[in-house]
Structure formats: structure tokens, C-alpha cells
Structure 1
Amino acid sequence: MSYELVAYLGVMDAGKSTLALQFHHSLGGEGILYTCMDRGGSGVISSRLGLAHEAREVTPDIDLYDELAELKPPYVVVDEVQFLTAPKQVNHLADAVDGLGLDVYAFGLRTDFLGRLFPASQRLLELADRVEELPVRVNCWCGARGTHNARVRDGVMVFSGDVVEVGDMDTYTVLCRRHHRAGLA
């Protein structure tokens, strides 16, 4: 049997967390769920639709391979994969596929608000057996396909600041490439 590391990367509001929870449910609910800095708090995968499930919180010091070797789950679902310590923890996921015979399904954002790949997302793209497009299309305000996440403060796009700002007062929106590059939120 062939096992895979599958990446589901996209923009905000494309249903990543909902799809992660759906995968877990449809695969029998016996696998391990991981998350990192979910909007719902530590140790939970939550979707904007109101779905939520307990998960293991990934911290920078966790060796995912060692933990999975000990737990021996039938599969692994990782949400908010963009926040993993890269390349180390993403390498652990690939090693779990190859060395432990596990299917790993990883869900997250492809790029940050500046339009740059998150380091963990980049490593996942480099190692994934498959990269799948998320089924939910998110549109820019102009109607074109949304391809970029934008940080907005007081109605104006923000082009500086930490990539992860916990508790910030900014909002986020999805834009097409053209409007993201032009700074037109």
C-alpha cells in the first residue's frame, strides 16, 4: 500500500478547517488531529461554520515523528500547517508517511498577508506527494478568483508587521493578485 503526504493549501475562508474535520470524520474519526494557533484556542480545530474538534496543539519543541511513532494512529490530519516549525516539523510529517506508513493530510494557508509563502507551506509544497486545490472558491471584491490574503487596518491594506500577530486589531480579506499587488482592499 502506498501512503501519502497530501497538502491542501489556499486562502482564508476557503474551508480548510471544515475540510480537515470532514476528512477526520469520513476516515472513521480514529486518527490524530493536530493544530497550531487555531482561532478557537489551543488544542482545537475550529471552522468559521461553527464546527470544532479537540486536537493536539503543535508547539515548536514537539517532535511529530517520535510522537506519531509512539501513538501509531491510522492517519494524521494537520490544520493550520503554515504555523509549524519548518522545515523540521514538516520533515517529520514526510518521515511519518515514509517510515511509519501513515497517510498525512495537511491543511493551511499558502501565503501570508504580504503574498509570501509561509516557510512551512513552502516545505510542504516541496515534499508533498500531492497538492490539492480546495473545493471552495473565494472571490475578490471584484469577482475574480481570490488568490491572496490581505491585512487591512482602517480600510487600508497593511504591508508591514509580524506575520503572526495574536490579538491584533486588523482584519483580513481575500483579494485577486491584481488588487493585492495594487493594494486595493
Structure 2
Amino acid sequence: MSGLIFYYGPMGAGKSTFALQTQFNQRQQGRAGLLVTNRDRSGNAQVTSRIGLESEAELIDDDTDLYTLVSSRHETDALDFVICDEAQFLTPAQVEHLARLVDVEHIDVFAFGLLTDFRSRLFPGAARLVEIADEVHRMQAIVLCWCGAPAILNARIVDDRMVRSGEVIAVGDTASGPVSYRALCRKHYVDGRIGR
């Protein structure tokens, strides 16, 4: 029985790593699949993790009809699963496409992404996944705020200061750069304190 499964967590929870592990495990069982991503941190057609794992992937954008993309491949090369990394960037319509792949084509879909943006608001794609996924799982990796408390929210950092406004999508990483992100506990997110 196929299903749409959504795994979410804050920055550093291991979502991309788990997506790649899921792909490996599915292939080890002889299952054929497709790995897709939208706005990977590398900027390339691949899924990359902060711990150094990476794999080639189909790069999609907001205009990609995921149902057509996957079902047309499924006609020529039977697919058992689809793994979607950076699922928070999917449009609600694309999430509907994933659900249709499960219901019509009987393909397992595993989606991995953030739940909330830097303003602590649900991403539209993540919200739709929570609404219609067969299973929703919070990642269990331990992510800590600088104070040692569990980190649950993602702060956007620009010029060493937390910002609360701007374009919702600004792809960055936890490394140095013009835009970076840091996972914080709720208290320090609310206070705007990004470090000691």
C-alpha cells in the first residue's frame, strides 16, 4: 500500500541526510525511484547534506507539474517511490500532485522539509503536506539552540543580526554568507538572541 509521508524538522535535523538514506534503503530492496529537489543549498541538480552526502537529483521549480513528470517516467520505467527534498518549497498544487501519484499511480512518496519559515509561519507546501499526508513525522535528531535547549525554530541571520522581514525564500546555509540560518529555541527566537 503506497503512501505520502512527510518528515519535517528545524535546520540541522538531518532531513536531507535521511532523504538520501531513504533512497539508499529503497534501492537496496530493488525498488526504483526518483529523487527530486527544489532549491537545494548547492544550487545544482542534486540533494546535498551538511555532513557531506550528496546525490544527483531532478531539479524542479514552482512551475513543474510533478504528476506529469513522474507519471510519464513511470510509463517507461516503472517507479516504486519518489523522494522530494526541500518539500517546504513545493506549491500546494505540487503537494496535490504528490498525493495523486500515491492514489492513482500507487507510488510511495517521501517528502522532507522545514515546517516553518524564518518568521515562524508555515510554508504553504509544508502546510498542505500536514493537511493531506498519510503520515507526518517530526525528525528526532537532537538540534540544540546555543543555550543548550532544544531548537525548534529557524532564525534568518543577516550581518550577524536576526531579521524578521524580507522575502520568504532566501536560500542559505548555516555557514558564513550573506544569508545564514540558525536553529533556536522558542525563547531565544522570540527574544532575537542568536548567541551568547
TM-score range normalised by the length of the shorter chain: over 0.9
Look up the match of 2:111: 106
Question: Aligned runs of 1:25-174 on 2, under 5 Å?
Answer: 25-28=24-27, 30-72=32-74, 73-85=79-91, 87-166=92-171, 169-174=178-183
Q: Does 1:15 align with 2:14?
A: yes
- SS for the counterpart of 1:67 is helix
- SS for the counterpart of 1:107 is strand
- SS for the counterpart of 1:172 is strand
Percentage of identical aligned residues: 46
CA distance in 2, matches of 1:47, 1:175: 20
Q: Which runs of 5+ in 1 are unaligned?
A: none
* TM-score between both structures, scaled by the size of structure 1: 0.94
Deviation at 1:45, TM superposition (A): 0.3
> Which runs of 4 or more aligned residues in structure 1 lie more than 6 Å from their structure 2 counterparts after TM superposition?
none
Matched length: 183
* 2:39 and 2:171 in contact (8 A); partners too: no
The root-mean-square deviation of aligned C-alpha atoms, in Å, is 1.4
Describe the shift of the 1:12–1:96 C-alpha distance in structure 2 as closer, same or farther (beyond 3 A): same
CA distance in 2, matches of 1:171, 1:70: 37
- SS for the counterpart of 1:27 is helix
Which deviates further from its counterpart, 162-171 or 89-98?
A: 162-171
Q: Which runs of 5+ in 2 are unaligned?
A: none
Describe the superposition over 1:1-60 as per-residue Cα deviations: whole angstroms up to 9, x where unpaired.
x21100001110111101000000000163100000101123100001111111011112
* 1:36 and 1:42 in contact (8 A); partners too: no
- SS for the counterpart of 1:145 is coil
* TM-score between both structures, scaled by the size of structure 2: 0.89
